[in-house]
């Protein structure tokens, strides 16, 4: 019984201390930005890949237009290119210089850097 009371007191203090911290909107915004950088498309590696894909798309569109293949087709060259008619292998190896392994630790590191740089507080005063 004594151990049960001790455990209950311990857990009640832990839950009470976590309730005392209401995270600020600014801190939440920084966490969201960091997650988007690490896991989303807001990083140099993703932007590099996307730009190569877009350049390849427009190269294929120009090729189709120069051959005149889209004239008698509904949707024109966009339809043909979108279906992969002019698809060729794309070299994205130059983007590898920006590649990184996404991790929770990296998110936390970015959050801490931004919190320090912007002078944002984690918890609101209650």
* Judgement on whether residues 88 and 111 belong to the same structural domain of the protein: no
Q: Which has the higher per-residue pLDDT, 83 or 5?
A: 83
CB under 8 Å to 60, separation ≥6 — which residues?
Answer: 81, 85, 86, 87, 88
Cα–Cα distances (Å) from 50 to 44, 90, 116, in that order, read: 10, 12, 31
Q: How far, in Å, CA of 69 to CA of 77, rounded?
A: 7
Range of the domain at 58: 44-98
Q: How many structural domains is the chain composed of?
A: 2
**Beta bridge partners of residue 123, listed in sequence order:** 23
Q: State CA 59 to chain mean position distance.
A: 27
The yes-or-no verdict on residue 52 having pLDDT over 70 is yes
Across the chain, mean pLDDT equals: 84
Same domain, 104 and 80: no
- Give yes or no: residues 13 and 48 share one domain: no
Overall average pLDDT of the 3-11 stretch: 53
CB neighbourhood size of 40 (10 A): 12
Indicate whether 16 and 49 sit together in one domain: no
């Amino acid at each position: 019984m004594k151990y049960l009371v001790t455990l209950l007191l311990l857990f009640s203090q832990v839950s009470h201390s976590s309730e005392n911290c209401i995270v600020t909107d600014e801190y939440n915004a920084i966490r969201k930005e960091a997650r988007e950088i690490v896991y989303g498309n807001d990083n140099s590696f993703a932007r590099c890949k996307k730009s190569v894909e877009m350049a390849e798309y427009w190269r294929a569109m120009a090729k189709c237009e120069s051959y005149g293949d889209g004239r008698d087709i509904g949707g024109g060259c966009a339809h043909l290119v979108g279906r992969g008619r002019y698809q060729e292998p794309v070299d994205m190896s130059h983007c590898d210089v920006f590649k990184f392994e996404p991790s929770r630790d990296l998110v936390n590191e970015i959050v801490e850097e931004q919190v320090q740089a912007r002078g944002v507080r984690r918890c609101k005063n209650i």
